[in-house]
């Protein structure tokens, strides 16, 4: 899919059919990368996170989540009763 768009005052407007094809809305935030060797500008949809929440998206934390999800999927879990949770809560 190729279209020609015009930049005005530093703003680039993406045609609606391209936005639909990519599944992005009209009020989207993008990461922008210059690729001069390809004579290209690369736009990637991005999500802006609050700095206080950024820790949850570090590679280390994401690896821990992936491991926990794999354990859960493969049945490597231990279910605790309310009483066991209460005891754990009292010891901390």
Domain-located, residue 64: yes
16 Cα distance to chain centroid? 23
Q: For residues 45 and 22, is the Cβ–Cβ distance under 8 A? A: yes
Q: Domain check: are 35 and 58 in the same one?
A: no
Output the pLDDT for position 76. Answer: 94
Number of domains in the chain: 2
Q: What is the DSSP pairing of strand 7-8 with strand 30-35?
A: unpaired
> Are 24 and 17 within 8 A, CB to CB?
no
Predicted TM-score (pTM) above 0.75: no
Same domain, 62 and 85: yes
In a domain, residue 84? The reply is: yes
Q: pLDDT band at residue 72, thresholds of 50, 70 and 90?
A: very high
Tens of pLDDT along 15-27?
889 889 989 888 8
**Residue 80 pLDDT greater than 90, yes or no:** yes
* Residue 32 domain-assigned (yes or no): yes
Domain that holds residue 16: 7-45
pLDDT at 5: 84
Whether the predicted pLDDT of 92 surpasses 90: no
Task: Give per-residue pLDDT as tens, 1-49.
Answer: 677 888 889 888 888 898 899 898 888 899 999 999 999 999 998 988 9
Q: Radius of gyration of the chain from Cα atoms?
A: 23
Domain membership flag for residue 2: no
């Amino acid at each position: 899919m190729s279209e020609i768009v015009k930049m005005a005052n530093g703003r680039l407007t993406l045609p609606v059919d391209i936005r639909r094809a990519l599944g992005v809305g009209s009020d989207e935030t993008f990461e922008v990368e210059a690729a001069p060797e390809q004579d290209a500008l690369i736009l990637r949809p991005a999500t802006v996170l609050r700095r206080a929440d950024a820790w949850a998206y570090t590679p280390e934390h994401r690896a821990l989540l992936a491991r926990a999800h794999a354990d859960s999927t493969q049945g490597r879990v231990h279910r605790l009763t309310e009483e066991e949770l209460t005891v754990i809560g009292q010891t901390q």
